[in-house]
Amino acid sequence: MRLSEQHYAAVRRDPSAVKGGAHLLPGNRWQVEGERDILVHNNLPLLDCRALFRPGGSFDGINMKSILVLAAIALAGFIVRPPLAAAGPPGHIVRLGILDALVPSFDPTADPGEFIDGLRELGYTPGRDIVFEYKRAGNLEAMPQVAEELVRSGVDILLTLGGSTRAAANVTKTIPIVMVGNSDVVETGLVSSLARPGGNVTGLAVNAAELAAKRVQLLRDAMPGLSRVAVLWNASLKGMSLQFQNIEQASPQLGVILQSVRVTGSDDFDQAFAALESSHPQGLVILYGPMRGNDLPRIVEFVTQHKLPTIFEPERGVRAGGLMEFGPKLKPMSRRAAAYVDKIANGADPATLPVEEPTLFELVINLQAAQQIGIQIPNSLLQQADRVIE
């Protein structure tokens, strides 16, 4: 059986709701006193819910049949969430500011994408009901200035992509911000809680710190004899620091010796690569966040030349020739963001719109990269993959 997003989020918010309490283990698991682990991932064995819930706790009254029904619904993606009922265009033009660090251009007519498709499903016609003011910083250093320019342009709502939410939140406390894919938003202080964000920021977030250790486990599954793992992580981003800390805490249980390769930007890559060359790790985890220019090609070129099996964050590796990616599916999150924009455009307060986290995750394996590196991916792992590049 699968644990629904509602129940998983409730465990995160209130571990005491579970008999004996609950605590986080590596690989996105919650250990429950006297019970089996709770594990949230589409392709992995999941949970035994029997005798799990404490009378009077958050899950009191939820029976096995209802959990089975919710588990089936979970296959569709975001589930059992507070409804964001579609209201449709509010009767005036909505000015939406879009802030991104990476995408070179945004043309909703030529390349609509999931977000624009979601708006159209809600009855919005770009150019008539909603207009876009798009700005791209190109790198994180320029983000605060670009965010300020966008705020001054007079937009009604901000949509923040590619790690730009913090910059936008620092510039304005009044314009509603809909974030897409931000990591560990409670831990980094972007919102007060998932249930009640409490400020002007809401939207779609990822509990990335809990997923980070899972990437080490997947590397071990790809290379059963792996014992030495390096983590190249971006210390300039608090979310990446949290992810590294999670891996560091989990490494003894995962049976690996960990090497920290700390960078603060792409200027540190040469030094990082030299450290990796001298230490000869058997695997590498990339926790970098938004990349600029040739950052990704440089990393992929290095790991390919040195035949170093590497796992990346979603959509930040395999497309450039990397071996593996693991993380939440991003397209459903982009489409779902349209519902937040619609709701806020019709008067909803972002402070009371719950932040949603994904329930669908994707493992991508590049067999071409595996062949270049000289490793054979076990069939058991290939069967778990959502996408295999041959």
pTM over 0.85: no
Please say whether the beta carbons of 138 and 292 come within 8 A.
yes
- CATH code: domain 94-206+329-358 is 3.40.50.2300
Beta bridge partners of 260: 231
More confident site: 214 or 17: 214
The pLDDT score that the predictor gives to residue 292 is 65
Strands 38-39 and 29-32: antiparallel
The answer, yes or no, to whether residue 82 has pLDDT greater than 50, is no
Please say whether the beta carbons of 253 and 26 come within 8 A.
yes
The pLDDT score that the predictor gives to residue 103 is 55
Domain with CATH 3.40.50.2300 in the chain: 94-206+329-358, 209-327+362-389
Average pLDDT, the chain: 78
Which ranges of the chain would DSSP assign to H, the alpha helix?
A: 5-13, 64-74, 113-121, 143-152, 165-171, 208-222, 238-254, 269-279, 295-305, 331-345, 367-373, 379-384
The answer, yes or no, to whether residue 314 has pLDDT greater than 80, is yes
CA distance 160 to 179: 5
Q: What average pLDDT score do residues 349-364 get?
A: 94
The pLDDT score that the predictor gives to residue 162 is 66
pLDDT > 70 in the chain, percent: 73
Adjacency order of strands within the sheet including 361-366: 257-263, 228-234, 283-287, 310-312, 324-328, 361-366, 387-389
The pLDDT score that the predictor gives to residue 16 is 46
The pLDDT score that the predictor gives to residue 43 is 34
The answer, yes or no, to whether residue 32 has pLDDT greater than 50, is no
Adjacency order of strands within the sheet including 201-206: 130-136, 94-100, 157-160, 177-183, 201-206
Q: What average pLDDT score do residues 129-137 get?
A: 90
pLDDT-based confidence at residue 112 (cuts at 50, 70, 90): low
CA distance 185 to 345: 23
Adjacency order of strands within the sheet including 29-32: 22-25, 29-32, 38-39
The pLDDT score that the predictor gives to residue 389 is 93
Domain 209-327+362-389 classification at class level = alpha beta
The answer, yes or no, to whether residue 123 has pLDDT greater than 90, is yes
CA distance 115 to 143: 22
Taking the mean position of all CA atoms in its chain, how far away is CA 53? 28
Going 13 to 18 to 20 to 23, the CA torsion angle's sign is: negative
Over residues 170-201, the pLDDT tens digits come to: 999 999 999 998 888 998 899 999 999 999 99
CA distance 1 to 18: 17
